[in-house]
Amino acid sequence: MSERLTPAELTLLGLLVEKPRHGYELEEVITARGMREWTEIGFSSIYYLLTKLRDRGLVAERGDEPGRGKTRKVFEPTERGREACAAGAEEAIATLRPVFPPVLVGLANQPVIPPERLRAALARRAEALAERIAAVRAAAPPDAPDFVRAIFDYSLHQLEAEKTWLATYRGEQR
């Protein structure tokens, strides 16, 4: 039986497969790797998700690790959790799913936007895109393992593709 995992569950489980961690360490890794840019894991939901994974038998608590004044529960994947993580990751890579970017809704309704405001909106998008590209490049750790670099590379290629499209489309709107 294959375990169905949400993207947030799969992300946390994958981080635990890398190495056992406590919730605060998961938060640190999520922040350091810029993972909130592509997955919905709020700080407050980490322990909730860990509890769900534990209750499903996918992770186990492994003793406590002393932390700043209090002990912290360390979580590690079970064998079933490792299998579910591998199956979920493989499915996530192989399966195309629709995305629903709001920009497409805006483009579908652009006839109601006065031309000068459309040009301004496209310019703002180009500026935001350039800022995002710079931020992703700056956040990419130079000594990261290949699988972490792949995440940054994928994101950069997606952003660069939109930048190329936007430059062409803006040229057509002049």
3 state SS for 39-68: CCCCHHHHHHHHHHHHHCCCEEEEEEEECC
User: In terms of domains, do 64 and 115 share one?
Assistant: no
Q: Taking 80 as the threshold, does the pLDDT of residue 71 lie above it?
A: no
Residue 37 belongs to some domain of the structure: yes
pTM: 0.80
Question: Each residue of 8-62: pLDDT tens digit?
Answer: 999 999 999 999 999 999 999 998 888 888 888 988 899 999 999 999 999 999 8
**Do 36 and 30 contact (CB within 8 A), yes or no?**
yes
User: In terms of domains, do 147 and 107 share one?
Assistant: yes
Residue 11 belongs to some domain of the structure: yes
Last residue of one domain, picked from the residues 75, 94, 113: 94
Residue 162 belongs to some domain of the structure: yes
- When pLDDT is cut at 50, 70 and 90, the band that residue 6 belongs to is very high
User: In terms of domains, do 15 and 90 share one?
Assistant: yes
Last residue of one domain, picked from the residues 94, 111, 141: 94
- What total number of domains does the chain contain? 2
Residue 1 belongs to some domain of the structure: no
Q: Alpha-carbon distance 21 to 12, whole Å?
A: 10
Residue 2 belongs to some domain of the structure: no
Residue 18 sits in a domain of what CATH number? 1.10.10.10
Residue 140 belongs to some domain of the structure: yes
Quote the domain boundaries for residue 48. 7-94
pLDDT at residue 58, as a whole number: 98
pLDDT at residue 44, as a whole number: 87
Determine the residue type at 51.
T
- When pLDDT is cut at 50, 70 and 90, the band that residue 166 belongs to is very high
Question: Each residue of 80-136: pLDDT tens digit?
Answer: 999 999 999 999 999 999 989 999 999 999 999 999 999 999 999 999 999 999 999
User: In terms of domains, do 78 and 139 share one?
Assistant: no
Question: Kind of pairing, strands 59-66 and 21-22?
Answer: unpaired
Residue 168 belongs to some domain of the structure: yes
